[in-house]
A and B are shown apart, each in its own frame.
Chain A
């Protein structure tokens, strides 16, 4: 009886099983061949985004102490995160920290390049490394008017607001981020990434004695 069931199953599904193996192998070979190039593109994009925020820096290296750093993403999940020291290769001068911060967006993961000053007290800005947010709405997190709100904000807990900031309170309300109209979920996701990842990076840098 069991043999008959197995035979019936294989007879009905052998093509799908065989095709899955063939297509899986094809994808494995393709990814194996192109992944180094994709990784190199990612590094180049990281460096380009980070150096657009820290203009004098042109070299980004992970300090040895931060090689195995992981961020707690909640619910027991941990994610290995690259924290790089921004320096000028010619002068050896250090300017700040640049790292990848990841969190959940509306449609998919959002991957940001975040930069802070060398003491990790002030945010210098962020750039979007990867996002699949809704075009025309959530993808406005890539726009300068939203990104500019983070420049100069203190490292710590940022709050999301829907009420535009008054001109006279702009300095006082540096930790408040005004949400994008029609894209509150994506705006909240970016703020949550900052609130989750940056304090953990700062704590790790402090514990390793890397903050000057």
Chain B
């Protein structure tokens, strides 16, 4: 990925959505994937917040990539990521206080999200601005979509609602377990199994 001209932005973007999906293929960012997917709204907020941090950190790291010496590299990544996570956290506290309370410690925990440091190291520190931005958007949107898909399954099965609105018939008996941690593990496990089957069939 060293030369921007040889890389197609569209393929980089699509890699984040499917071929290198951070959750389903790379198995990164498992903590928020399991913790905030009981409902779609917090999952969407988490996905957008992580995408914002990923985008900003990729931009900064890409711009500074020629100045990054090996011994300060990780320190610079952490400093950059922590700054943008703090901004995202302050934004939620100021404009979405209820959501900020609901997400609790998981927004500050984006600082240690492997996806962001992984993209800074694997992509932004080796590529130009354009590819870094496209990579951040692809990975961020891939992460958000996966979180929302997982959350939608869990929310519908555990409450009969989607985005807080009833979508199941009145006779539906909610599966309380799907809203609990066990529901997150089971749903994610089934999703990973489904993806593995699809990939095996394709290959």
Could you tell me which A residues sit within 8 Å of B by CB distance? Answer: 12-13, 15-16, 19-20, 23, 26-27, 30-31, 34, 37-38, 41, 45, 107-108, 131-132, 135-136, 139
Using A31-B90, A41-B93, A45-B97 as known contacts, say yes or no to A132 and B105 having CB atoms under 8 A apart: yes
Q: Is B104 an interface residue (CB 8 A)?
A: yes
C-alpha spacing A69/B184, complex, angstroms: 46
A117 to chain B, nearest CB (A): 28
Count the B residues whose beta carbon is within 8 Å of the partner chain — how many?
Answer: 24
Q: What would 23 A/B residue contacts be, using CB atoms closer than 8 Å? A: A15-B64, A15-B67, A15-B69, A15-B72, A16-B72, A16-B75, A19-B64, A19-B79, A20-B79, A26-B83, A26-B87, A27-B83, A27-B86, A27-B87, A30-B87, A34-B91, A38-B94, A41-B97, A107-B105, A108-B105, A131-B104, A132-B105, A135-B104
- Tell me the chain B residues, 78-115 only, with Cβ under 8 Å from chain A: 79-80, 83, 86-87, 90-91, 93-95, 97, 104-105
Using A107-B105, A132-B104 as known contacts, say yes or no to A34 and B76 having CB atoms under 8 A apart: no
Contact B79 A41 (CB under 8 A): no
8 Å CB contact of B94 from A16, A23, A37, A139: A37
- Chain A residues with Cβ under 8 A from B75's Cβ? 16
C-alpha spacing A188/B95, complex, angstroms: 33
- Chain A residues with Cβ under 8 A from B87's Cβ? 26-27, 30
Contact B181 A136 (CB under 8 A): yes
C-alpha spacing A37/B100, complex, angstroms: 14
Q: Which 5 A-B pairs have the closest CB atoms?
A: A34-B94, A23-B83, A37-B94, A41-B97, A132-B105
Contact A16 B71 (CB under 8 A): no
C-alpha spacing A15/B24, complex, angstroms: 36
- Chain A residues with Cβ under 8 A from B48's Cβ? none
Q: Which one of A16, A20, A23 has the greatest number of beta carbons of chain B within 10 Å?
A: A23
Contact B105 A16 (CB under 8 A): no
- Chain B residues with Cβ under 8 A from A139's Cβ? 104
Minimal Cβ-Cβ distance residue in A for B79: A19
Q: Which one of A12, A19, A27, A108 has the greatest number of beta carbons of chain B within 10 Å?
A: A19
B91 to chain A, nearest CB (A): 7
- Chain A residues with Cβ under 8 A from B105's Cβ? 107-108, 132, 135
Contact A38 B76 (CB under 8 A): no
Q: Is B35 an interface residue (CB 8 A)?
A: yes
C-alpha spacing A45/B98, complex, angstroms: 9
- Chain B residues with Cβ under 8 A from A107's Cβ? 105
Q: Which one of A12, A37, A41 has the greatest number of beta carbons of chain B within 10 Å?
A: A41
C-alpha spacing A107/B35, complex, angstroms: 17
C-alpha spacing A65/B104, complex, angstroms: 35
